[in-house]
Amino acid sequence: MISKSQIKLITGLNRKKYRDTHGLFVAEGPKVIRELLDEGMTLAGLFTTLPEEWADMQLTEISQEELKKISFLSTPHQSLALFKIPQLQAPHLSGLSVALDALRDPGNLGTIIRLCDWFGIRHLICSLDTADCYNPKVVQASMGSLARVQVHYLDLEDFLKNSSLPVYGGFMDGASVYTEQLPETAILVLGNEANGISAEIESLVTHRISIPRFGNVRKTESLNVATAGAILLNEFRRRHSET
């Protein structure tokens, strides 16, 4: 059985201020929870309607009705866990990294974290006004990849000014990503869903790249940022993959 204070704590973690205060975030569903556990993230609480699936673990058995009270999903999935937010060191970049300039949509951020995991990107650099990676919607969309990608929040403009790496930015009017020289070590910047890369960050981009449109009409205004990120990352990795 879950207490009223526990319900209040868990439901409050929908807000960043509350997550920062308590140093906790929520993950839901056995698959996501197990992935985070397997990667060594610190469990702070486990609430489940199926205790037999979590042998030898401290947990609180709850009813389906209680799970609905604390879940952020429209269809709660058996288990909900609290994890401690890890404390990360300042990033020391090597290889390919991704930077996000004011990305706001939690679903997009979660998908980009999964993309970073898929393409072996260890560091994801986020501007201070990018969505919080510990938002429950981001955690669910990342599907456990959050434990394998280090997400750093910092002053992106200052960070890029002090970086010696080439900075590639995704733009509608950039050079085709299919013809540009793409190095193994670089920073790839993706911009805000509505406004793209800001003028301040654009001034620090050393290489403007784009994904060319095909077909006869070519009236599509733009690609979803996560979709564009997938194409660009694939092209960076393809150039240096073993044949």
Structural domain boundaries in the chain: 4-84, 96-239
pLDDT (tens digit per residue) in 141-187? 999 999 999 999 999 999 999 999 999 999 999 999 999 999 999 99
Give the CA distances from residue 104 to residues 100, 128, 132, in Å, rounded to whole numbers and listed in that order. 10, 11, 9
Mean pLDDT of the region 213-242: 86
Per-residue model confidence (pLDDT) at position 161? 97
pLDDT of the residue at 218? 64
Mean local confidence (pLDDT), 122-150: 97
Cβ atoms of 81 and 145 within 8 Å: the answer is: no
What is the percentage of the chain residues whose pLDDT exceeds 70? 97
pLDDT at 243: 44
pLDDT (0 to 100) of residue 66: 97
Q: Give the C-alpha separation, 118 to 170, whole Å.
A: 20
Name the CATH superfamily housing domain 96-239: SPOUT methyltransferase, trefoil knot domain (3.40.1280.10)
Give the pairing of strands 24-28 and 43-48. unpaired
Average pLDDT (99-126) is 97
Listed as own residue / partner, the contacts of 237-241 with beta carbons closer than 8 Å and 24 or more positions apart are 237/96, 237/119, 237/120, 239/182, 240/184
pLDDT (average), residues 193-211 = 97
CA–CA separation, 110 and 126 (whole Å): 13
Residue 233 has pLDDT above 60, yes or no: yes
For residue 215, the model assigns a pLDDT of 74
- Give CA separation, 114 vs 66, 119, 175, in Å: 30, 9, 26
Give residue 94's pLDDT: 85
The domain at 4-84 falls in which architecture? 2-Layer Sandwich (3.30)
Model pLDDT, residue 240: 85
What is the per-residue pLDDT for 208? 98
The pLDDT confidence band at residue 217, using thresholds 50, 70 and 90, is low
Do the beta carbons of residue 83 and residue 42 sit within 8 Å? Answer: yes
Whose tokens are 């260890």? That residue is: 122
Mean pLDDT score across all residues of the chain:
95
* pLDDT reported for residue 242: 55
Q: Which of the 8 DSSP states describes residue 192?
A: B
Alpha carbons 77 and 35: distance in angstroms, whole number: 15
What is the pLDDT averaged over residues 98-124?
97
The span from the CA of 135 to the CA of 108, in Å, is 12
Q: Which amino acid belongs to residue 182?
A: L
| % of the chain exceeding 90 in pLDDT | 90
Q: Residue 46: beta bridge partners?
A: 81
**Which is more confident, 94 or 204?**
204
What confidence tens digit (pLDDT) does each residue in 32-72 have?
A: 999 999 999 999 999 999 999 998 899 999 999 999 999 99
